[in-house]
Structure 1
Amino acid sequence: MMTRDDDMICYCFQYTSGDIRRDAAEHGKSTILQQILDAKRAGGCQCAEKHPKGT
């Protein structure tokens, strides 16, 4: 059974909602969005291949 912490938020980089909660607790805010944006700018996005809906 999946819990709320198991909800996949980013299929490209395998971040779950639990990862975001832990990151926010550790840093006072989540740094994951910036990490995703930086990786996407560097060509690291694979949403079309990894996301079940292709987006």
Structure 2
Amino acid sequence: MERIVCHCFGYSKADIERDVKRHGRSTIAELIEAEARAGNCRCAERNPGGT
């Protein structure tokens, strides 16, 4: 089973690893941060751990 890193947007550890290989850094982390700043993060509802 693939490890989900971001339940809000469905990114897995493998997604982030592929992103780093492609871009030399994680652009996914930037996307998550931008969405969270925009108020689109729903960790409490989507993450089984609530964080």
With normalisation by structure 2, the TM-score equals 0.93
Counterpart for residue 35 of structure 1: 31
Gap regions ≥5 residues in structure 1: none
- How many residue pairs get aligned? The number is 51
User: Higher relative contact order at CA 8 Å, sep ≥6: structure 1 or structure 2?
Assistant: 2
Runs of 4+ off more than 4 Å: none
TM-score by length of 1: 0.87
Instruction: From the CA coordinates, give the structure whose radius of gyration is larger.
Output: 1
The two structures, once aligned, show a CA RMSD in angstroms of: 0.7
